[in-house]
Amino acid sequence: MQGDGDGWVFDADGQRYWGRHGAAGLLLTAPLGDDVDGIAVLLQHRAVWSHQGGTWGLPGGARDSHETVEQAAVREAHEEAGIAASDLEVTDSIVTHRASSGWTYTTVIARTAHQITTVANGESAELRWVPSTSVADLPLHPGLALAWPALVDRLQF
């Protein structure tokens, strides 16, 4: 589905960012399991054809002009992972990247009662629930790799 936010923004230094009105991603958390303490997070293994393909990131994408960052992140998670808005509760949001052009990426943190089943679209090679303590061991999208240390401190369940 194409919205009015689809398109690249270019900084003066040549860096490019997807989302004419910025972008947002959903950091969805769930308990690890009945007998295991800890938090799992849903990660997306990005399709090789996509920007930064082959890395692990969050379901997310371009924000449309009429959307809040929370609405954009939840919509993108539905499109890319089949997650229904009714299955989650948004708990926090944080701008995790701000470009010199004014473009921003906001990570929206949400939780769900259990590790819900996901359905990947063509933008995902795989979707996986990962223990929060193992996230940094994966080849992360550069933006998520930079933001992860601050994000992990905000996770709760």
Task: Give the pLDDT of residue 33.
Answer: 79
Task: Give the pLDDT of residue 113.
Answer: 93
Task: Give the pLDDT of residue 121.
Answer: 85
Task: Give the pLDDT of residue 53.
Answer: 66
Low-confidence ranges of the chain (pLDDT < 50): none
Whether 15 and 142 have beta carbons less than 8 Å apart is answered as no
pTM for the model stands at 0.92
Q: What is the pLDDT of residues 91-107, one digit of tens each?
A: 999 999 999 999 999 99
Whether 94 and 4 have beta carbons less than 8 Å apart is answered as no
In angstroms, the CA 42 to CA 152 distance is 13
In angstroms, the CA 127 to CA 47 distance is 11
Query: Can you read off the two tokens belonging to residue 110?
Result: 């949400």
